[in-house]
Structure 1
Amino acid sequence: MTPRKTRIVVGVTGATGAVLAIRLLEILRSLDVETHLIFSKWALATMKYETDIPAEHVRKLATYTYALKDLTAPPSSGSFLRDGMIIKGRKLVLVVRETPLSAIHLENMSAVQRAGATIFPPVPAFYTIPKTIEDVIEQSVGRMLDSLGIHVDGFERGEDMRKD
Protein backbone atom coordinates (compact mmCIF):
# COMPACT_ATOMS: atom_id res chain seq x y z
CA MET A 1 0.00 0.00 0.00
CA THR A 2 1.38 3.40 -0.98
CA PRO A 3 1.37 6.00 1.80
CA ARG A 4 -0.69 9.09 1.13
CA LYS A 5 1.06 12.44 0.62
CA THR A 6 0.69 15.09 3.28
CA ARG A 7 -2.58 16.87 2.54
CA ILE A 8 -3.41 20.41 3.72
CA VAL A 9 -6.59 22.44 3.18
CA VAL A 10 -5.90 26.17 2.80
CA GLY A 11 -8.90 28.42 3.39
CA VAL A 12 -8.37 32.10 2.55
CA THR A 13 -10.72 34.84 3.76
CA GLY A 14 -10.86 38.54 2.98
CA ALA A 15 -8.70 39.63 5.91
CA THR A 16 -5.55 41.47 4.97
CA GLY A 17 -2.43 39.35 4.54
CA ALA A 18 -2.99 37.65 1.18
CA VAL A 19 0.80 37.39 0.78
CA LEU A 20 0.87 34.93 3.69
CA ALA A 21 -1.49 32.53 1.91
CA ILE A 22 0.42 32.90 -1.36
CA ARG A 23 3.78 32.18 0.25
CA LEU A 24 2.31 29.26 2.20
CA LEU A 25 1.09 27.72 -1.06
CA GLU A 26 4.48 28.29 -2.72
CA ILE A 27 6.32 26.52 0.09
CA LEU A 28 3.84 23.64 0.31
CA ARG A 29 4.14 23.16 -3.47
CA SER A 30 7.96 23.06 -3.23
CA LEU A 31 7.61 20.37 -0.53
CA ASP A 32 5.28 18.34 -2.77
CA VAL A 33 2.45 18.68 -0.24
CA GLU A 34 -1.03 18.12 -1.68
CA THR A 35 -3.03 21.33 -1.17
CA HIS A 36 -6.76 22.00 -1.39
CA LEU A 37 -7.50 25.72 -1.80
CA ILE A 38 -10.77 27.49 -1.02
CA PHE A 39 -11.08 31.28 -1.46
CA SER A 40 -13.89 33.44 -0.14
CA LYS A 41 -15.09 36.08 -2.61
CA TRP A 42 -13.55 38.74 -0.37
CA ALA A 43 -10.22 36.90 -0.35
CA LEU A 44 -10.03 37.42 -4.10
CA ALA A 45 -10.87 41.12 -3.70
CA THR A 46 -8.25 41.58 -0.98
CA MET A 47 -5.60 39.71 -2.97
CA LYS A 48 -6.27 41.92 -5.99
CA TYR A 49 -5.97 45.03 -3.82
CA GLU A 50 -2.85 43.96 -1.89
CA THR A 51 -0.82 42.22 -4.59
CA ASP A 52 -0.27 42.24 -8.32
CA ILE A 53 -0.48 38.45 -8.42
CA PRO A 54 -3.41 37.21 -10.51
CA ALA A 55 -5.86 34.85 -8.79
CA GLU A 56 -5.29 32.29 -11.56
CA HIS A 57 -1.58 32.12 -10.66
CA VAL A 58 -2.46 31.50 -7.01
CA ARG A 59 -4.96 28.80 -7.99
CA LYS A 60 -2.21 27.05 -9.97
CA LEU A 61 -0.02 26.93 -6.84
CA ALA A 62 -2.58 24.60 -5.26
CA THR A 63 -3.03 20.97 -6.20
CA TYR A 64 -6.82 21.41 -6.13
CA THR A 65 -9.01 24.51 -5.96
CA TYR A 66 -12.72 24.59 -5.09
CA ALA A 67 -15.49 27.13 -5.39
CA LEU A 68 -16.59 28.45 -2.01
CA LYS A 69 -20.15 27.14 -2.39
CA ASP A 70 -19.18 23.73 -3.83
CA LEU A 71 -20.77 21.39 -1.30
CA THR A 72 -19.49 18.40 -3.30
CA ALA A 73 -15.85 19.46 -2.87
CA PRO A 74 -13.93 16.67 -1.13
CA PRO A 75 -12.80 18.89 1.81
CA SER A 76 -16.47 19.43 2.74
CA SER A 77 -16.75 15.77 3.74
CA GLY A 78 -15.78 14.53 7.18
CA SER A 79 -14.38 11.37 5.57
CA PHE A 80 -11.85 13.36 3.54
CA LEU A 81 -8.50 12.70 5.21
CA ARG A 82 -6.28 15.71 5.64
CA ASP A 83 -3.35 16.58 7.85
CA GLY A 84 -4.46 20.12 8.62
CA MET A 85 -7.73 22.12 8.85
CA ILE A 86 -10.96 21.48 10.73
CA ILE A 87 -13.37 18.53 10.69
CA LYS A 88 -13.45 15.55 12.98
CA GLY A 89 -10.39 16.25 15.06
CA ARG A 90 -8.02 17.35 12.29
CA LYS A 91 -5.53 20.11 13.01
CA LEU A 92 -6.77 23.65 12.54
CA VAL A 93 -4.49 26.65 12.49
CA LEU A 94 -6.28 30.01 12.44
CA VAL A 95 -4.08 32.83 11.21
CA VAL A 96 -5.77 35.82 12.82
CA ARG A 97 -4.69 39.22 11.63
CA GLU A 98 -7.27 41.78 12.70
CA THR A 99 -6.31 44.56 15.11
CA PRO A 100 -7.35 45.71 17.50
CA LEU A 101 -8.92 42.52 18.80
CA SER A 102 -12.30 43.00 20.43
CA ALA A 103 -13.60 40.99 23.37
CA ILE A 104 -15.72 39.00 20.90
CA HIS A 105 -12.63 38.13 18.82
CA LEU A 106 -10.79 37.01 21.96
CA GLU A 107 -13.73 34.98 23.29
CA ASN A 108 -14.18 33.23 19.94
CA MET A 109 -10.45 32.51 19.63
CA SER A 110 -10.42 31.18 23.19
CA ALA A 111 -13.36 28.87 22.39
CA VAL A 112 -11.77 27.41 19.24
CA GLN A 113 -8.43 27.02 21.04
CA ARG A 114 -10.15 25.04 23.82
CA ALA A 115 -11.65 22.88 21.07
CA GLY A 116 -8.14 22.09 19.84
CA ALA A 117 -7.31 24.76 17.27
CA THR A 118 -4.05 26.66 17.18
CA ILE A 119 -4.43 30.43 17.15
CA PHE A 120 -1.60 31.92 15.14
CA PRO A 121 -1.35 35.69 14.90
CA PRO A 122 1.43 36.40 12.37
CA VAL A 123 3.36 38.63 14.75
CA PRO A 124 6.83 39.50 13.43
CA ALA A 125 9.73 38.06 15.41
CA PHE A 126 11.75 41.25 15.65
CA TYR A 127 14.64 39.41 17.32
CA THR A 128 15.46 38.05 13.85
CA ILE A 129 16.13 41.62 12.67
CA PRO A 130 14.04 41.30 9.48
CA LYS A 131 15.31 43.48 6.67
CA THR A 132 12.40 43.11 4.25
CA ILE A 133 8.71 42.29 4.35
CA GLU A 134 9.67 39.00 2.66
CA ASP A 135 11.77 38.13 5.75
CA VAL A 136 8.71 38.68 7.94
CA ILE A 137 6.53 36.58 5.60
CA GLU A 138 9.08 33.72 5.50
CA GLN A 139 9.31 33.62 9.30
CA SER A 140 5.53 33.74 9.78
CA VAL A 141 4.79 31.08 7.16
CA GLY A 142 7.62 28.86 8.45
CA ARG A 143 6.18 29.00 11.96
CA MET A 144 2.67 28.28 10.61
CA LEU A 145 4.03 25.16 8.91
CA ASP A 146 5.88 24.17 12.11
CA SER A 147 2.54 24.18 13.93
CA LEU A 148 1.26 21.60 11.42
CA GLY A 149 4.38 19.45 11.83
CA ILE A 150 5.81 20.47 8.44
CA HIS A 151 9.33 21.71 9.04
CA VAL A 152 11.13 23.87 6.50
CA ASP A 153 14.38 25.76 6.54
CA GLY A 154 14.85 29.30 5.35
CA PHE A 155 13.92 31.29 8.43
CA GLU A 156 15.55 31.85 11.80
CA ARG A 157 14.27 30.10 14.90
CA GLY A 158 15.02 31.03 18.49
CA GLU A 159 17.85 28.50 18.79
CA ASP A 160 19.61 30.21 15.87
CA MET A 161 19.76 33.51 17.73
CA ARG A 162 22.40 32.92 20.45
CA LYS A 163 24.73 35.85 20.81
CA ASP A 164 27.43 34.70 23.20
Structure 2
Amino acid sequence: MPLRIVNVKVNGVDQAFMAKPDTTLLLALREQLGLMGAKRGCAQGACGSCTVLLDGAPVVSCLVPAATIDGAAVATVEGLADGQELNDVQQAFVDGFATQCGFCTPGMIMSAEALLARNPDPTADEVNEAISGNVCRCTGYAPIVSAILEAARRRRDRAGTAEQEATR
Protein backbone atom coordinates (compact mmCIF):
# COMPACT_ATOMS: atom_id res chain seq x y z
CA MET A 1 0.00 0.00 0.00
CA PRO A 2 1.45 3.38 -0.92
CA LEU A 3 1.97 5.85 1.90
CA ARG A 4 1.05 9.49 1.57
CA ILE A 5 2.30 12.42 3.59
CA VAL A 6 -0.64 14.42 4.90
CA ASN A 7 -0.11 18.01 6.07
CA VAL A 8 -2.79 19.45 8.34
CA LYS A 9 -3.22 22.09 10.98
CA VAL A 10 -4.35 20.38 14.18
CA ASN A 11 -5.48 22.64 17.01
CA GLY A 12 -3.66 25.51 15.32
CA VAL A 13 -0.35 23.65 14.93
CA ASP A 14 1.05 22.46 11.60
CA GLN A 15 1.37 18.67 11.62
CA ALA A 16 2.41 16.04 9.10
CA PHE A 17 1.85 12.31 9.23
CA MET A 18 2.02 9.28 6.97
CA ALA A 19 -1.25 7.73 5.87
CA LYS A 20 -2.10 4.54 4.07
CA PRO A 21 -5.25 4.64 1.92
CA ASP A 22 -7.20 2.94 4.73
CA THR A 23 -5.94 5.20 7.55
CA THR A 24 -8.79 7.16 9.09
CA LEU A 25 -8.49 10.60 10.60
CA LEU A 26 -9.31 9.03 13.97
CA LEU A 27 -6.40 6.58 13.73
CA ALA A 28 -4.02 9.32 12.60
CA LEU A 29 -5.03 11.58 15.49
CA ARG A 30 -4.70 8.85 18.10
CA GLU A 31 -1.85 6.70 16.83
CA GLN A 32 0.35 9.16 14.99
CA LEU A 33 -0.32 12.46 16.72
CA GLY A 34 -1.02 11.14 20.23
CA LEU A 35 -4.34 12.97 20.58
CA MET A 36 -6.56 10.61 22.53
CA GLY A 37 -9.64 12.83 23.02
CA ALA A 38 -11.60 11.46 20.07
CA LYS A 39 -12.70 7.94 20.99
CA ARG A 40 -13.22 4.86 18.86
CA GLY A 41 -16.73 3.70 19.61
CA CYS A 42 -18.70 2.02 16.87
CA ALA A 43 -16.18 2.61 14.02
CA GLN A 44 -19.22 3.06 11.74
CA GLY A 45 -20.00 6.75 12.24
CA ALA A 46 -23.12 6.10 14.30
CA CYS A 47 -22.09 6.97 17.87
CA GLY A 48 -20.29 10.32 17.50
CA SER A 49 -17.61 9.56 20.10
CA CYS A 50 -14.92 10.38 17.54
CA THR A 51 -16.38 13.75 16.48
CA VAL A 52 -13.84 16.46 15.65
CA LEU A 53 -14.11 19.66 13.64
CA LEU A 54 -12.78 19.52 10.09
CA ASP A 55 -12.50 23.03 8.67
CA GLY A 56 -15.05 24.04 11.31
CA ALA A 57 -17.63 21.36 10.57
CA PRO A 58 -18.29 18.41 12.88
CA VAL A 59 -17.30 15.06 11.35
CA VAL A 60 -17.07 11.53 12.65
CA SER A 61 -13.35 11.01 12.26
CA CYS A 62 -13.67 7.22 12.05
CA LEU A 63 -15.12 7.61 8.55
CA VAL A 64 -12.81 10.31 7.16
CA PRO A 65 -9.92 8.93 5.11
CA ALA A 66 -6.84 10.76 6.39
CA ALA A 67 -5.36 10.96 2.91
CA THR A 68 -8.25 13.21 1.83
CA ILE A 69 -7.68 16.03 4.32
CA ASP A 70 -4.33 17.39 3.17
CA GLY A 71 -4.27 21.13 3.88
CA ALA A 72 -7.30 21.03 6.20
CA ALA A 73 -7.70 22.38 9.72
CA VAL A 74 -8.70 19.91 12.42
CA ALA A 75 -9.85 20.84 15.92
CA THR A 76 -10.01 18.29 18.70
CA VAL A 77 -11.17 18.54 22.30
CA GLU A 78 -7.52 18.86 23.38
CA GLY A 79 -7.25 22.16 21.54
CA LEU A 80 -10.11 23.88 23.38
CA ALA A 81 -8.56 24.46 26.79
CA ASP A 82 -6.11 27.28 27.41
CA GLY A 83 -3.46 25.45 29.40
CA GLN A 84 -5.22 24.23 32.54
CA GLU A 85 -8.21 26.54 32.00
CA LEU A 86 -11.14 24.78 30.36
CA ASN A 87 -13.15 26.62 27.73
CA ASP A 88 -16.81 27.53 28.32
CA VAL A 89 -18.30 24.31 26.99
CA GLN A 90 -15.84 22.09 28.83
CA GLN A 91 -16.38 23.99 32.08
CA ALA A 92 -20.16 23.93 31.72
CA PHE A 93 -20.01 20.13 31.28
CA VAL A 94 -18.03 19.86 34.53
CA ASP A 95 -20.20 22.34 36.42
CA GLY A 96 -23.46 20.79 35.20
CA PHE A 97 -22.45 17.16 35.83
CA ALA A 98 -22.91 16.46 32.13
CA THR A 99 -20.41 13.63 32.15
CA GLN A 100 -20.55 10.25 33.77
CA CYS A 101 -18.33 7.69 32.10
CA GLY A 102 -16.95 10.46 29.85
CA PHE A 103 -16.65 8.34 26.73
CA CYS A 104 -19.03 10.46 24.66
CA THR A 105 -17.95 13.77 26.19
CA PRO A 106 -15.27 14.84 23.67
CA GLY A 107 -17.60 14.23 20.72
CA MET A 108 -20.49 16.00 22.45
CA ILE A 109 -18.27 18.98 23.24
CA MET A 110 -17.02 19.24 19.66
CA SER A 111 -20.57 19.05 18.30
CA ALA A 112 -21.52 21.80 20.77
CA GLU A 113 -18.58 23.93 19.65
CA ALA A 114 -19.70 23.68 16.04
CA LEU A 115 -23.24 24.66 17.00
CA LEU A 116 -22.18 27.65 19.11
CA ALA A 117 -19.84 28.88 16.37
CA ARG A 118 -22.76 29.19 13.97
CA ASN A 119 -25.51 29.97 16.50
CA PRO A 120 -24.49 31.68 19.76
CA ASP A 121 -28.04 31.60 21.16
CA PRO A 122 -29.48 28.15 20.41
CA THR A 123 -32.75 26.77 21.71
CA ALA A 124 -32.90 23.41 23.47
CA ASP A 125 -34.35 21.92 20.27
CA GLU A 126 -31.40 23.25 18.26
CA VAL A 127 -28.97 21.76 20.80
CA ASN A 128 -30.76 18.42 20.58
CA GLU A 129 -30.49 18.50 16.81
CA ALA A 130 -26.79 19.44 16.93
CA ILE A 131 -25.93 16.52 19.20
CA SER A 132 -28.28 14.04 17.54
CA GLY A 133 -25.34 12.18 16.00
CA ASN A 134 -23.76 11.62 19.42
CA VAL A 135 -24.84 8.73 21.60
CA CYS A 136 -24.65 8.86 25.40
CA ARG A 137 -25.56 5.80 27.38
CA CYS A 138 -25.16 7.35 30.85
CA THR A 139 -26.57 10.84 31.39
CA GLY A 140 -29.97 10.78 29.70
CA TYR A 141 -28.99 13.89 27.67
CA ALA A 142 -30.73 16.49 29.87
CA PRO A 143 -27.51 17.54 31.68
CA ILE A 144 -25.68 17.70 28.36
CA VAL A 145 -28.28 19.98 26.78
CA SER A 146 -28.33 22.16 29.90
CA ALA A 147 -24.53 22.42 29.89
CA ILE A 148 -24.47 23.51 26.25
CA LEU A 149 -27.16 26.12 26.86
CA GLU A 150 -25.21 27.35 29.91
CA ALA A 151 -21.99 27.60 27.88
CA ALA A 152 -23.86 29.63 25.26
CA ARG A 153 -25.17 31.98 27.98
CA ARG A 154 -21.68 32.41 29.44
CA ARG A 155 -20.27 33.29 26.02
CA ARG A 156 -23.03 35.79 25.32
CA ASP A 157 -22.57 37.37 28.76
CA ARG A 158 -18.80 37.65 28.25
CA ALA A 159 -19.30 39.12 24.77
CA GLY A 160 -21.78 41.66 26.17
CA THR A 161 -19.37 42.66 28.94
CA ALA A 162 -16.51 43.05 26.45
CA GLU A 163 -18.74 45.18 24.22
CA GLN A 164 -19.72 47.40 27.14
CA GLU A 165 -16.08 47.88 28.15
CA ALA A 166 -15.11 48.72 24.58
CA THR A 167 -17.70 51.52 24.40
CA ARG A 168 -16.44 53.19 27.59
TM-score > 0.5 by shorter chain: no
TM-score (norm 2): 0.31
The alignment's TM-score, normalised by the length of structure 1, stands at: 0.32
